[in-house]
Amino acid sequence: MPAVSVIMPVYNAERYLQQSIGSVLGQSFQDWELILVNDGSKDSSEEICRNYAGQDHRIILLSQKNAGPNKAVLNGLMHAASEYVMFLDADDWYDSEMIRILYQSAVFHQADAVMGGYQKVSPEGVLLERPLTTPDAVYEKEDIEQQILKPFYETEADIYRRWSAPRWDKIYRTSVLKKAFEDVDITMSLGEDLAMNLSFLHYAERVVTLKGCWLYNYRVLDKSAAHGYSEALEKKNQSLAINIDILAVKQGYTFTARPLMEDNNTLGLLFDLSQTRGLSWRQKAAIRRRLIGRLHNKGKAAKVLLYKDFPGKAVLQKLYRRIRDR
């Protein structure tokens, strides 16, 4: 049985698969299995995956009809044969030490999860930023409840204060993650990683965060045309708040911070609207008025301006990150 299972959902990723899979093959730690879950790709992704699986017995290919990343993740998880599991998106890649560092930390601390860091890179692989800074910290059960879950549900609605929403910058104990998925609505198409982490943290006994460990490379692709404002996206945001509310009740919390989440989601929609093509200015103005009308705190609408470029913004951002990362 391998020590670590790496699960990779794959959908139309032929352009990046060689680098992504290659980053697992090139790990300094080699006691792993790689589970590729082809989610009904229409390009040559399945053929590429099949070729890799034929060359290395540690690589397993699962194929399913297109059902979305959440079901692909769960499919891979149910086939995982290891004590710990990690995730990798098909257009991203690992640093060569990622599995070793996270796995050894998990074993040393007997932790249910260890979180490293990640860095955003351009489509060509150029470093853009390291958006998350965490301390070296060990959170026991009570710490998880009082310092992560309770603040999220009751005051902050922001998991990034001490943890993060993605699945791919961490290593998880497989048995605990399988338990956590029992409380997650796998039909979610927005915020599914957040729900998975909240559920996992509820069941975890000990989790660890590592400082200065930017081991995951997240490729920032130009998705503005596909991910601009739409009524469907607005409904998904509303469903996300409902799903998190349901999860809070299951865990014994009251989601009093829900208005903060709803406002943050609305701000995101306002930004998406500003980037959306194909709508007239009159249509945009009408949608903007409606979205601003939904804000619990109308003053937050000004925050959308923070997304816009202005002279000297890059210099200020660089200075902020330098101070933050000290």
* Last residue in a domain, options 219, 253, 277: 219
Neighbours of 194 (CB within 10 A): 23
How many residues in total does the chain contain?
326
Residues 302, 215 share a domain: no
Residues 253 and 41: their CA atoms lie apart, in Å, by 40
Q: At 312, is the pLDDT very low, low, confident or very high (cuts 50, 70, 90)?
A: low
Do residue 190 and residue 130 come from a single domain? Answer: yes
Same domain, 316 and 193: no
Domain assignment of residue 32, yes or no? yes
Shared-domain flag, residues 26 and 100: yes
Q: How many domains does the chain have?
A: 2
Evaluate whether 119 touches 214 at the Cβ level (below 8 Å).
yes
CA distance 224 to 198: 28
Q: Is residue 129 part of a domain?
A: yes
Q: What is the pLDDT of residue 306?
A: 59
Among the listed residues 83, 75, 74, the one whose alpha carbon sits nearest the alpha carbon of residue 4:
83
Q: What is the pTM of this model?
A: 0.90
Helix (H), strand (E) counts: the chain: 12, 10
What's residue 51's pLDDT? 97
Within-domain flag for 91: yes
Residue 20 belongs to a domain? yes
Whole-number pLDDT of residue 146: 97
Residue 225: inside a domain: no
Q: Are residue 209 and residue 285 in the same domain, yes or no?
A: no
For the residues 206-232, what does the mean pLDDT come to? 83
Same domain for 181 and 158: yes
Most confident of 69-73, 168-172, 319-323: 168-172
**For position 125, what pLDDT does the model report?**
85
Model confidence pLDDT, tens digit, residues 110-135: 999 999 999 999 988 899 888 888 89
pLDDT at residue 69, as a whole number: 86
> In CATH, what number is assigned to the domain containing residue 121?
3.90.550.10
Q: Is 44 exposed, middle or buried (0-12, 13-18, 19+ CB in 10 A)?
A: middle
What count of other Cβ atoms lies within 10 Å of the Cβ of residue 274? 15
Average pLDDT over residues 83-90: 97
CB atoms within 10 A of CB 42: 10
Round the average pLDDT of the chain to a whole number and report it. 91
Residues 46 and 158 in one domain: yes
Structure tokens at 269: 């929609």
At residue 65, what are phi and psi to the nearest 5 degrees?
Answer: -65, 150
Average pLDDT over residues 274-293: 90
As a whole number of angstroms, the distance between CA 236 and CA 108 comes to 40
Residues 30 and 86 placed together within one structural domain of the fold: yes
* Structural domain of 58: 4-219
Average pLDDT over residues 139-167: 96
My answer on whether 249 and 187 are in the same domain is no
Q: Can you tell me whether residue 171 is helix, strand or coil?
A: strand
Kindly give, in sequence order, each residue whose CB lies less than 8 Å from that of residue 311, ignoring residues fewer than 6 positions away: none
Q: Are 239 and 185 in contact (CB under 8 A)?
A: no
- Which range, of 242-251, 289-298, 313-322, averages the lowest pLDDT? 313-322
Indicate whether 255 and 167 sit together in one domain: no
pLDDT for residue 224 is more than 80: no
> Is the per-residue pLDDT at 309 higher than 50?
yes
pLDDT in tens, 52-70: 999 999 999 999 999 888 8
Could you tell me if 174 and 150 lie in one domain? Answer: yes
Residue 226 falls within a domain, yes or no? no
**End-to-end Cα separation, the chain, in angstroms:** 41
Task: Label residue 103 exposed, middle or buried (CB < 10 Å: 0-12, 13-18, 19+).
Answer: buried
The predicted structure's pLDDT at residue 274: 85
> What pLDDT shows up at residue 313?
58
Instruction: Average the pLDDT over each of 2-6, 188-192, 234-238 and give the range with the smallest value.
Output: 188-192
Domain boundary among 184, 219, 254: 219
What confidence tens digit (pLDDT) does each residue in 18-44 have?
A: 999 999 999 999 999 999 999 999 999
Examine the fold and report which residue of 189, 219, 249 is the final residue of a domain before the chain moves on. Answer: 219
Q: What is the mean pLDDT of residues 224-250?
A: 86
What does each C-alpha distance from 185 to 178, 229, 243, 276, 299 come to in angstroms? 13, 24, 8, 29, 33
Q: Is residue 301 part of a domain?
A: yes
Are 121 and 215 contacting, i.e. CB atoms less than 8 angstroms apart? no
CA distances from 208 to 50, 134, 149, 205 (A): 35, 10, 15, 11
Give percent above pLDDT 90 in the chain: 74
Domain membership of residue 185 (yes or no) is: yes
Poorest-confidence range of 206-210, 249-253, 295-299? 295-299
Residues 175 and 32 both lie in one domain = yes
| DSSP notation for 221-283 | ---TTTSS--HHHHHHHHHHHHHHHHHHHHTT---TTHHHHHHHHHHHHHHHHHH--S--HHH
Higher pLDDT, 301 or 218: 218
